[in-house]
Amino acid sequence: MDLFSDIEEPEREELRALRKELEEANYKYYVLNQPTLSDRDFDEKMHRLQELEAQYPDMFDPKSPTQHVGSDLEKPHPASPQGEEKGRKAFETVKHKYPMLSLANSYSREEIEDWVRKLPAGVEIVCELKYDGLSISLWYENGKLVRALTRGDGQQGDDVIDNIKTIPSIPRYVVGTPSNFEMRGEVLLPWERFEALNKEREEQEEPLFANPRNAASGTLKLQDPKEVARRGLEAYLYYMLGEDLPGTTHYERLNTAREWGFHISDAIKVCKNVDEVMAYIAYWDTERKNLPVATDGIVLKVNNLAQQQELGYTAKTPRWAIAYKFPAEKQLTLLREITYQVGRTGVVTPVANLEPVQLSGTIVQRATLHNEDFIRSLDIRPGDRVWVEKGGEIIPKITGRENPTPTLPSREGEGFAFPTVCPECGAKLVRVEGEAAWRCPNEAGCPPQQKGKIEHFVSRKAMNIDGLGEETIDLLFRKGLLNDIADIYSLRAEDLAVQERLGDKSAQNMLAGIEASKQVPWARVLFALGIRMVGETTAKKIAKRYTSIDSLRQATTEQLCAIDDVGPQIAENIVEYFSDSRNIDILNRLQQAGLRFKGEADEGPQSDKLAGMSIVISGTFSHHSRDEYKTMIEQNGGKNVGSVSKKTSFILVGDNMGPEKRKKAEELGVKMISEDEFLEMINEN
């Protein structure tokens, strides 16, 4: 007996370790939006845990991850680092009327075929796309939206109704419905908005979202509904619950919900046999890459609602539904070397330089390694063969290395060492407590930081100075004509015209752009200064509260923290910026050059010609940029929205309008106008 106990003990230890690992992974995925395991790795570990629990029934635990869904409830976690929840909003937690369970899933088409064949004869299957977002439960009473609950722990969820109301495709009121019913669906951040959001964060050297799902989840838990609205969330609804509901099948109810005004996907099909199901999976395995939102699989549901009830549920999943998850495309390749880039705020970012490998139709040669902690967590170093995936089939990422065994002979005596000095200027790197990044403190003497600040200052959303691109800035920096942003306003035509690739005409155009930048409003000037973590939206809010640079210089951290979206770290960065004598010198020179360091009345709405209108912009334009049109809409009292719904007033259409938006507009009868018509509408042509 003792002999058998010795054999079993390692597997019992494995069971305990898996429970702990999966609980931690759930917490980091659902609450912190910082996944540590890929979906497939998580699912494989979960299946292994289920096998072990079946093997050792005496170790049953109702708190095991196999017995409940992951929880996104906003509550402290005993194993999380201190302060990780700092700044997170407390939402009211509400009990679900019907539990929100997860789905059983598989990466094997053979398993899906078996699941379908085991169903009773003649059962219809509804196939739907599995959207990769955040589950939401919408409660309607007498036609009015009264609750919007996250999945939470499956039994109760956080009420995020104020943020949900910012999503145009979710109706606040519906007509002709039962007195009480629930709609369930997925909150998503479209690829276009995800890429724009990550670009903003990259410019501010803030941590990037790993994928649209994490971005959507983080956005839905923000404190400011205005910022939620700005980011442009979308929602697809896929299930209706309640009493005395119309229809006897799932498909009928979805069509009814569509008639009531809910956003129901068009990619839903009733399949009558396994061949139709497999054909649906094969079609969307390729076609999903053309969708505007992230998907990671197919959901199969028994169509007949009575048959759903007969099949019933397990502890955490319905027996009448299953998900097939598309396997991520990944390849093994050689990690040639790790190089280090220094950003404009001094953050040192490691970059993997790879043996070229093809993924999803493109050649991948580089991938970000984020920071030192990320590299150590994967235990990778140059010379390793590493797994490369495309996150959402867009962003290359390294997920691990081949045969990750720490006892490999080739690794003995080796170890990864992050640089201790700046690779560009040689200054000793520092790591701020609570941050993952190493930073070069030599702001005034580190070339990438100096040039990066100038590039940010002249960028389109900041001072918008044409002719000063990255190459020209590098040229003028090397020639000693540009050392900081204030030097821009001391450039002379005779110095510029003699430079390589320039000339009299280029010099005059550049100087004209520099002169025009003196009319850029105060909020954009503040953004252009490049204060760490002060992005475009935050700069607008600060400029609205402090209408001049003189008043902002006097603000304390406590006063700054009273502004929406300005936390202690941002406030400290602002105070620190104004306490540096070098920055004060630059500001004085900019002020002498004539920049607008004071807000003007005309920076707000100029008219009410578009008051109450929700306007979508789609395509490319010839007269103005998209950002300029967005500003015009706001200045005339209108509201910019990211997706088309029946509440959309009209679409401002340029060339190459998105096909999905055009199709939706035609279905809903939404008016589409050209940029000439729009400019005439606001008397700007």
Beta bridge partners of 236: 186
Two structure tokens written together for 28: 């980091």
Give the CA count within 13 Å in the CB-facing half-sphere of 48: 17
Query: Residue 249 phi/psi, 5° resolution?
Result: -130, 155
d(CA 203, CA 472): 19
How far apart, in whole angstroms, are the C-alpha atoms of residue 474 and residue 455?
10
User: Could you write out the DSSP letters of every residue in 293-359?
Assistant: S-EEEEEEEESBHHHHHHH-B-SSSBTTEEEEEPPPPEEEEEEEEEEEEE-TT-EEEEEEEEEEEEE
Q: How far is CA 68 from CA 65, 91, 280, 320, 384, in A?
A: 6, 22, 30, 18, 38
Using a 10 angstrom Cβ sphere, with 0-12 exposed, 13-18 middle and 19 or more buried, the burial of residue 620 is exposed
505 annotated active-site:
no
Of 45, 75, 89, 130, the catalytic one is 130
Rounded Cα–Cα distance for residues 12 and 55 (Å): 10
Which DSSP state fits 59?
A: G
Backbone angles phi, psi at 13, to 5 degrees: -65, -40
With 0-12 / 13-18 / 19 or more C-beta atoms within 10 angstroms meaning exposed / middle / buried, residue 464 is middle
| Cα 685 from Cα 675, distance rounded (Å) | 9
> Nearest 5°: phi and psi at 289?
-70, -15
What strands lie across the sheet with 180-188, from one edge to the other?
Answer: 144-150, 134-141, 180-188, 234-242
Alpha-carbon dihedral 423, 424, 427, 429, rounded to 10 degrees: -50
**Contact between 127 and 165 (Cβ < 8 Å):** no
| Total length of the chain | 685
Paired strand residues for 235: 187
CB atoms within 10 A of CB 217: 22
Would you tell me how many other CB atoms lie within 10 Å of the CB of residue 389? 22
Question: How far apart are alpha carbons 88 and 108 in whole angstroms?
Answer: 39
- For the chain, the farthest-separated pair of C-alpha atoms sits apart, in whole angstroms, at 94
Please state whether beta strands 105-106 and 125-131 pair in parallel, antiparallel, or not at all (unpaired): unpaired
* Contact assessment for residue 177 and residue 140, using Cβ atoms and an 8 Å cutoff: yes
If one counts every other C-beta atom within 10 angstroms of the C-beta of residue 180, the result is 17
Q: How far is CA 635 from CA 252, 510, 624, in A?
A: 44, 28, 15
Residue 445 tokens, joined: 């003497």
**3 state SS of 172:** coil
Cα 611 to chain centroid distance, Å, stands at 30
Please report where in the chains the tokens 């690992």 appear, as a residue: 21
CA distance 332 to 396: 13
Report the alpha-carbon distance of residue 260 to residue 262 in Å, rounded. Answer: 6
Find where tokens 């200054």 sit.
427
Q: Are 392 and 191 in contact (CB under 8 A)?
A: yes
Helix 109-117 / helix 274-287 crossing angle, nearest 10 deg = 150
Amino acid identity of residue 375, one-letter, is: I
What positions carry a catalytic annotation? 130
